[in-house]
Amino acid sequence: VANKRILTFSKGMKQRIKLGLALMHNPRFIIADEPFNGLDPIARKQFFDLMKRYSQEYQTTWFVSSHVLFEVERLAQNIILLYKGRTIAQGSPSRIRAMIQEQPHSIQITSPSIREMVKLLVDQSDFKELISSMEFTTSLKGQDESFTVETKDPTRVYQLVTDLVVDYNLPISEIKPTDEGLESLFKSLTVG
Residues with Cβ < 8 Å from 153, sequence gap 6 or more?
Answer: 130
CA angle 170, 173, 176 (to 5 degrees): 110
- State residue 12's pLDDT score: 84
End-to-end alpha carbon distance in the chain: 51
Residues with Cβ < 8 Å from 133, sequence gap 6 or more?
Answer: 149, 150
Asked if 136 contacts 147 with a C-beta cutoff of 8 angstroms, the reply is yes
DSSP states along 27-50: -SEEEEESTTTT--HHHHHHHHHH
- State residue 174's pLDDT score: 85
Per-residue pLDDT of the chain (192 residues; tens, 9 = 90+): 788 898 899 888 888 899 889 999 999 999 998 888 878 778 888 888 998 899 999 999 998 888 776 777 778 888 888 888 888 889 988 888 777 777 778 888 988 888 899 999 999 888 888 998 898 876 655 567 889 998 888 888 888 998 998 999 998 888 888 766 666 677 777 775
101 vs 17: CA distance, rounded Å: 37
Q: What is the pTM of this model?
A: 0.54
- State residue 176's pLDDT score: 83
- State residue 168's pLDDT score: 93
